[in-house]
A = this chain, B = another copy of it.
């Protein structure tokens, strides 16, 4: 397999072999080096070296994904947070990030300032959480929406990077 550099960040270049490995691991994070090596026609050692580099660089991480609904999180919600004065945004973000219910937190370019996605046991738990957020200094308003039905939840499609 040849290694044509792909148009990624210059400092950490990745070739086709890396991407091929990622493709396997995205599907099953426990795929053995042996199997990957066979499928890609390289030695086990090569796969191992590459794998470790990908981990070290933080490009890849192997995690056990737990289905939230199946273990008891029956309420997945989206909270739009309006911060005032705007200068408090970072401070507020840091405080919200600490709450364990928060699965995603980001600053956006939209109407509101911060987006908070939370996993709660139930509506009761959610309400308690919202109150906690509302009590934070700088939180001016919140708008909550519940995710009724999740149609898709997928990892990034690496093919989008190859074919342009």
- Interface, chain A (partner B; CB < 8 A): 6-9, 12, 14, 19, 22, 24-30, 57-68, 70-73, 78, 93-94, 96-97, 100-111, 115, 119-121, 125, 143-161, 164
Residues from chain B with a CB closer than 8 A to the CB of A148 are 106-109
Are A157 and B100 also in contact (CB < 8 A) when A29-B29, A72-B7, A152-B105 are?
A: yes
Residues from chain B with a CB closer than 8 A to the CB of A59 are 66-67, 70-71
Q: Are B65 and A108 in contact (CB under 8 A)?
A: no
Q: Are B143 and A64 in contact (CB under 8 A)?
A: no
Give this chain's copy count: 2
Considering the complex, give the chain B residue whose CB is closest to the CB of A80.
B110
In the complex, 16 of the A-B residue pairs with CB atoms within 8 angstroms, ordered by the A residue number, are A8-B72, A22-B64, A22-B66, A27-B63, A61-B67, A71-B156, A73-B161, A78-B110, A101-B160, A102-B152, A102-B154, A104-B150, A108-B145, A109-B145, A110-B144, A119-B160
Q: Are A14 and B71 in contact (CB under 8 A)?
A: yes
Q: Are B152 and A26 in contact (CB under 8 A)?
A: no
> Would you give the shortest CB distance from A14 to chain B, in whole angstroms?
7
Residues from chain B with a CB closer than 8 A to the CB of A149 are 106-107
